[in-house]
Amino acid sequence: MYLKCTSCRILHHCLWDSLSRTLLEGLLEHSLVSTYEPKEFIFHERDEAYGLYVLCQGLVKLIKSAQNNKQMIVALVHPGQLLGVTFALNGGLFPMSAQAVDLSTVLFLHRKHFDDLLQRDPSLSLLLLSYSNEQLGQTLNTLIDLVALNVEQRLAGALLQFAESAANHTNSGLVCRLPLRRAELADYIGTTPETTMRVLGKLKRENVIKIERRMITFLDIQRLRELAHSA
Amino acid sequence: MYLKCTSCRILHHCLWDSLSRTLLEGLLEHSLVSTYEPKEFIFHERDEAYGLYVLCQGLVKLIKSAQNNKQMIVALVHPGQLLGVTFALNGGLFPMSAQAVDLSTVLFLHRKHFDDLLQRDPSLSLLLLSYSNEQLGQTLNTLIDLVALNVEQRLAGALLQFAESAANHTNSGLVCRLPLRRAELADYIGTTPETTMRVLGKLKRENVIKIERRMITFLDIQRLRELAHSA
DNA sequence: CGAGCGCTTGAGCGTCCTCAAGGTTCGTGG
DNA sequence: CCACGAACCTTGAGGACGCTCAAGCGCTCG
C-alpha cells in the first residue's frame, strides 16, 4: 500500500531542519509512504537494507532478538526520526527489526534516490553521521544502565522518559498514556513481564504512580527521580 | 609529548584502504602522535571532542562508567581503528573514555584539519558513517548478549574473540596472550572479577582451556563454541 | 457471549553479587 | 640481589535479586 506523500508536514521539523529546501523536496518527491498496523513489521533483522525509513506518524520499536526467544527493545522511534539509520548505505543488513507499536505511517526512500541526494548535498552525510553517533550514544547509555542499575532504577528511568515526552498536567499530577504494554515495557528495560509487574506494584503501593488501563499518573515525580538516579 | 608521524605504516591498511592517496597524506601531514602508558587515558567521558584519534600501535579499551563505581568495557580498539568515532564533528562530548591497555601509540587529528579533509573528499564522511554504523551494530550485539546470555556464554564468546584475533598453533592447541587482566575481562563481559574467576576455573577443570600467567591455551575450541552459542 | 490475549500475583529456586581472606606476581628501592 | 609493598589473582560462604513455572482474573473484540 504505497502512496505519494506530498503534504506530509512532519519532515519540516525535527532532524530535517538543517537541510536545504531542495533536498527536502527531493525527499518528498521520491519517497513512498505506507502504513503499518500495530505489531506489523517494517523490516526484519538481517534483511538487506534497500533504503531509508522515516517515521511520519505513530510509534515504532526497534527490537533485537536472541536465540532463546528473548528480545530487547533497543530504541523507540518517534515521528520525524529515522529507522535503521543508514545501514542502507553499506548495502548492509539491518542489525535489528522495526515493528509498529501504534498504527504508523512510514516514509521509504530507496537507496538509489538517497544516493542522488547525497551527491547533491554532501552535508547530508554529516547530518546522518551525527544522527548515527547520537544513536550510538543512546545505546551505550542503555548498555551501562543494564549492568549498573537494578530493575527498579531502570523502570523508574523509563517511566520518567514517558513523563517527559508526553505528559499532561491534571489536578492529581502528571498524566500520560503508557506507550508500551507490560511485556513491551519489560523488553524495554531488559527484564521479564512478571518482574516488571512486581516493581510497578511496589511503586503503586508507595503512591509514586497510579495506573488505570493504559493511563499512568505520576503522583510523586520527585521520588521517581530519586529512585532512578540514586543507589 | 607530540611527534610528527610521517613514517607510520599502519594507516595504509585497515579502514583507510578506500581513501585517496591525497587524503591519506593530508592525514599524515597534519596529525600528531603521542604514546600512552598502560592505564593512561587518551580522553575521558564528557570531554569535549576536539578531534579524531587513530590507534597506531598497542591496545585501547573504551569504557563507560556509572555512579556506583561500576564500569563496562564497551569496545576494544586495535591498531588501525578509530577512537571516539566522530563525535568530533558534532563538536560534541565523548560518550565514553579511552584508556590504554598496553603501551599505545595514538595519532590525533584536530577537528579543523579534519574538516578540511571532509571538504576535499566528501566520500570520507560516508566511510565514517559506515564505521559509525559498524560500531552501533557491535554495541547492539553486546547489549543483546547481556540480556540473553549467562556469564559462561559471554565469557566463552570473549575468549573466542581473542582466539580468532591473535592465536598461534602449538602442539597442544591454540595459544595466545590474554589481552586483558581478570578485572578487565570482567568489565568486558559485564560481570565481577570473582564470577569471572569461577567460570574460568570451571573451564580449566573441564579441560577446555589452560591458563598460565597471561597465556591461554585453547584445548577444546569446539567445546568453547558450543558453550558460547547454545543455551 | 465466548475465546484469546493481556494483566496480576504467588511460590520456589538459580545465578550471580557481596564481603572477606589468603596467596601470588610484579615493581621499586635499599 | 634481596626485601618489601602494592596490585593482582584466587577461593569460600552467604545472601539477594530476578527468573521460571503456574494459575486465576479481566478486558476486548469478533
A198 grid coordinates: 512486581
Shared fold status for A5-147 and A149-228: no
Confirm if A51 and A111 have CB atoms less than 8 A apart.
yes
CB burial of A134-155 (b: ≥16 within 10 Å; e: otherwise) equals bbbbebbebbbbbbbbebbbbb
Fold of the domain spanning B5-147: Jelly Rolls (2.60.120)
Per residue in A130-159, pLDDT (tens digit) is 888 889 999 999 999 999 999 999 999 999
The pLDDT-based confidence of B229 (bands split at 50, 70, 90) is confident
Q: List chain A residues with CB under 8 Å of B74.
A: 140, 143
A23: alpha, beta or left? (left if phi > 0; alpha if psi -120 to 50): alpha
Confirm if A136 and B96 have CB atoms less than 8 A apart.
no
Q: List chain A residues with CB under 8 Å of B143.
A: 64, 72, 74, 139, 142-143, 146
The answer to whether B4 contacts chain A (CB < 8 Å) is: no
Please give residues of chain A from 146 to 165 whose alpha-adjacent beta carbon (CB) lies under 7 Å from any atom of strand D.
Answer: 150-152
CA of A206 to C1' of D30 (A): 39
Strand C bases within 7 angstroms of protein beta carbons: 6-11, 15-20, 25-26
**What architecture (CATH level 2) is domain A149-228?**
Orthogonal Bundle (1.10)
What pLDDT shows up at residue B82?
A: 87
The pLDDT-based confidence of B5 (bands split at 50, 70, 90) is very low
Q: Is the CB of A142 under 7 A from strand D?
A: no
In this structure, the strands spanning B60-65 and B41-43 are unpaired
Distance from CA of B175 to the nearest CA of A (A): 30
Q: How far apart are alpha carbons B186 and B201 in whole angstroms?
A: 14
**How many CA atoms, within 13 angstroms, populate the side-chain half-sphere of residue B157?**
18
The pLDDT-based confidence of B12 (bands split at 50, 70, 90) is very low
What pLDDT shows up at residue A102?
A: 94
A121 grid coordinates: 548535498
Of A67, A85, A140, the CB nearest to B95: A140
> Which residues of A, range 90-109, sit inside 8 Å of B by Cβ?
90, 92, 95-96
| Residue scoring higher pLDDT (B105 or B115) | B105
Q: Of all residues in chain B, what percent carry a pLDDT higher than 90?
A: 55
Query: Which residues in chain A belong to E strands, given as ranges?
Result: 3-4, 32-36, 41-43, 51-57, 60-65, 71-77, 82-83, 97-100, 104-110, 168-170, 173-177, 209-212, 215-218
pTM score: 0.90
A4-8, A17-21, B33-37, B101-105: lowest mean pLDDT where? Answer: A4-8
Per residue in A58-98, pLDDT (tens digit) is 999 999 999 888 999 999 999 988 887 766 566 688 999 99
Measured distance between the N- and C-terminal CA atoms of chain B, rounded to whole angstroms: 50
Confirm if B42 and B51 have CB atoms less than 8 A apart.
no
Mean local confidence (pLDDT), A180-196: 97
Q: Which of A32, A36, A71 is nearest to A50 (CA)?
A: A32
Contact criterion met (CB < 8 Å) for A132 and B129: yes
Confirm if B175 and B167 have CB atoms less than 8 A apart.
yes
Per residue in B184-205, pLDDT (tens digit) is 999 999 999 999 999 999 999 9
Of B87, B141, B148, the CB nearest to A133: B87
Domain residue spans of chain A: 5-147, 149-228
Q: List chain B residues with CB under 8 Å of A143.
A: 64, 72, 74, 139, 142-143, 146
| Residue scoring higher pLDDT (A4 or B61) | B61
Contact criterion met (CB < 8 Å) for B86 and A143: no
The answer to whether B129 contacts chain A (CB < 8 Å) is: yes
Q: Is the CB of B143 under 7 A from strand D?
A: no
